[in-house]
């Protein structure tokens, strides 16, 4: 099953800069019979809606977003965060992306279960970015907005080492091409995160039971009558620690190289 329509939102200062070239490398790998469109946000006069009138530019862009199956969110990282062009767009789109309940909580809106790919670039090297995580906040912001709107992530890309050059790195271009080929296939339209955590808990419980059973049998390391209490507390503590580590590396510490 394939996506039929792709929309790239380019929030950079230059329409043909390095960030745009990495985006073009991804788009070039998409199916020839698919509808692929790029919105260069600086071409639009974007401002917040008012009670009296909606922003015409947002109306146009939102119509494209509604028609697309997959969004590619592409913006460079400046000052350790998302470029202002993209941030302004998302700020103005807030009430179009989500709905609010009576106490001000944001809930997924009309775009729930669409999919998105996030892309960014930065001046520093891959090694520096790995240790400093300068691009992390860009990805965190994109993910917070997209997941708040109910979208499901299919991948992310970071192009490092853009300072002092106008040419993309060949290895990063190749990575973009692979990414473009990979996102062609439509993933399932549901988020299996909860299911994965339940499966993880079950695996930990079984392995802990086997391990502690062998310890009790071979070495008698558990006090009489305390085996099941020790087992239960071990499973819960170990699961919480492991799940926290996995959550950090999966959702917080983003791809940096």
Residue 257 inside a domain? The answer is no
Residue 108 lies in a domain: yes
Q: Are residues 178 and 203 in the same domain?
A: no
Check whether residue 178 and residue 219 sit in a common domain.
no
Does any domain span residue 226?
A: yes
Residue 204: predicted pLDDT: 81
Whether 149 and 239 share a structural domain: no
Residues with Cβ within 8 Å of 180's Cβ and at least 6 positions away in sequence, in order, are 25, 26, 27, 28, 29, 30
Instruction: For residue 225, tell me if it sits in a domain.
Output: yes
Q: Does 39 lie in the same domain as 155?
A: yes
How far apart are alpha carbons 153 and 19 in whole angstroms? 20
Q: What is the CATH number of the domain that holds 134?
A: 3.40.50.360
Question: Looking at the structure, do residues 69 and 172 belong to the same domain, yes or no?
Answer: yes
Residue at token pair 């960014």: 120
User: Domains in the chain: how many in total?
Assistant: 2
Check whether residue 142 and residue 201 sit in a common domain: no
Q: Is the pTM here over 0.85, yes or no?
A: no
24 within a domain of the structure (yes/no) = yes
The token pair at 51 is 């009670």
Q: Which of 152, 182, 212 is the last residue of a domain?
A: 182
Q: What angle do CA 159, 174, 3 make, to 5 degrees?
A: 90
Are 223 and 137 members of one domain? Answer: no
Q: Which of 182, 212, 242 is the last residue of a domain?
A: 182
Domain range enclosing 33: 5-182
Cα 172 to Cα 126: distance, rounded to the nearest angstrom: 11
Count of C-beta atoms within a 10 Å radius of residue 238: 15
Q: Are residues 65 and 99 in the same domain?
A: yes
Asked whether residue 83 falls in the same domain as residue 49, the answer is yes
Alpha-carbon distance values, 240 to 31, 84, 192, 205, 230 (Å): 43, 37, 19, 12, 16
In a domain, 171, yes or no: yes
The answer to whether position 188 is within a domain reads no
3-state secondary structure of 81: strand
φ and ψ at residue 80, rounded to 5 degrees: 75, 15
Residues listed for the chain: 257
161 and 226 within one domain: no
65 touches 6 (CB < 8 A): no
**End residue of a domain, out of 153, 182, 211:** 182
Identify whether 140 is part of a domain. yes
Pairing of strands 106-108, 98-100: antiparallel
Residues 51 and 28 in one domain: yes
- Does an H or E element contain 57, and which? helix 56-67
What per-residue confidence (pLDDT) applies to 203?
80
Same domain (yes/no): 119, 24: yes
- The position carrying tokens 């960030």 is 19
pLDDT tens string for the chain (257 positions)? Answer: 577 899 999 999 999 999 999 999 999 999 999 999 999 999 999 999 999 999 999 999 999 999 999 999 999 999 999 999 999 999 999 999 999 888 878 889 899 999 999 999 999 999 999 889 999 999 999 999 999 999 999 999 999 999 988 889 999 999 999 999 999 876 655 556 677 778 778 888 887 888 777 767 766 666 666 777 777 877 887 788 777 777 666 555 556 66
Residue 257 tokens, joined? 């190289």
């Amino acid at each position: 099953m394939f996506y039929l329509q792709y929309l790239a939102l380019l929030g950079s200062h230059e329409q043909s800069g390095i960030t745009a070239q990495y985006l073009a490398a991804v788009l070039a790998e998409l199916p020839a019979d698919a509808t692929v469109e790029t919105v260069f946000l600086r071409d639009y006069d974007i401002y917040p809606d008012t009670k009296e009138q909606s922003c015409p530019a947002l109306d146009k862009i939102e119509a494209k977003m509604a028609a697309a199956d997959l969004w590619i969110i592409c913006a460079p990282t400046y000052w350790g965060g998302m470029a202002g062009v993209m941030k302004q767009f998302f700020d103005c789109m807030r009430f179009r992306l989500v709905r609010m309940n009576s106490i001000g909580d944001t809930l997924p809106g009309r775009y729930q279960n669409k999919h998105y790919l996030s892309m960014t670039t930065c001046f520093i090297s891959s090694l520096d970015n790995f240790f400093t995580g300068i691009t992390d906040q860009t990805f965190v912001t994109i993910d917070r907005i997209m997941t708040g709107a109910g979208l499901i992530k299919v991948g992310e890309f970071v192009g490092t080492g853009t300072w002092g050059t106008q040419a993309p790195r060949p290895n990063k271009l190749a990575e973009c091409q692979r990414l473009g080929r990979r996102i062609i296939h439509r993933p399932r339209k549901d988020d299996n995160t909860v299911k994965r955590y339940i499966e993880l808990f079950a695996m930990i419980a079984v392995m802990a039971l086997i391990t502690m059973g062998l310890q009790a049998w071979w070495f008698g390391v558990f006090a009489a009558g305390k085996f099941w209490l020790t087992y239960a507390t071990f499973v819960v503590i170990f699961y919480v620690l492991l799940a926290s580590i996995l959550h950090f590396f999966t959702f917080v510490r983003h791809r940096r190289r």
